[in-house]
Structure 1
Amino acid sequence: MSQRPRYEHQFAHALKQVRSLTRHSQEDFDVCSSRTYISALERGLKTPTLSKVDQLAAVMGVHPMVVLAMAYAQDSSPHAVQDVLQHAAEQAWKLMSPASISEG
């Protein structure tokens, strides 16, 4: 049986990648977190709350789903991230479709 991926480590990698791509230092997050906390997140030692992901994304100027999609993507390619976002959008659409809502 295959093991589930360790998403906290994938989140750590995604956060570091987005931070690097947006050219932010760990110190740039001092409005919402300490450099020590950001370092711990990027090493997979801590797991952020949803509100913390929102704050971190705001500092980097990206939507929180960007960081999460990059964490859940199979690899770091734009196509893998697009696949994750498309799959999530399809599931949300299906759940919120008028037929689904009227059945509930």
Structure 2
Amino acid sequence: MTSKSDFGAALREVRLLKQLPQESLGPSQSFISAVERGIRNPTLEKFEQIAELLGVHPVTLLAYVSVRDGYSVEALLARIRQELQDLGR
């Protein structure tokens, strides 16, 4: 699993790639700033809201953290596919 700071840094990168200000992502600029600095974690509901406002699927945002940390996209997708198959999906 990733740390709060890894998720926050990835969120900041995606937000900047999308050229969006912190204010555009949710409840308050100070909350988004705290998430990006690894001080706070969003609830699942807020996480989904942030992903929607970024224009990405929530899983894509989580995957970006892994890819950013060196995990290959192909390996990550293969693992997800296998785990879903193992779960009967």
19-28 or 83-92, which moves further after superposition?
Answer: 83-92
Between the aligned residues of both structures, percent identity stands at 35
Q: Describe the shift of the 1:20–1:46 C-alpha distance in structure 2 as closer, same or farther (beyond 3 A).
A: same
TM superposition shift of 1:83? 2.5
- TM-score normalised by L of structure 1: 0.73
Taking the aligned partners of 1:25 and 1:74, their CA distance within structure 2 comes to 21
Structure 1 23/87 Cα, relative in aligned 2: closer, same or farther at 3 Å? same
Q: Which has the larger radius of gyration?
A: 1
Asked whether 1:15 is paired with 2:27, we answer no
Tell me which residue corresponds to 1:96.
88
Letter in 2 for 1:48: P
Matched positions, count: 89
Per-residue deviation, residues 20-61 of structure 1 (Å, max 9, x unmatched) = 1111110112xx310000000000000112211110011011
Q: Which residue of 2 aligns with 1:33?
A: 27
Q: Please name the residue that 1:100 is paired with.
A: none
Greater relative CO, 1 or 2 (CA 8 Å, sep 6+): 2
Which sections of structure 2, spanning at least 5 residues, go unmatched?
Answer: none
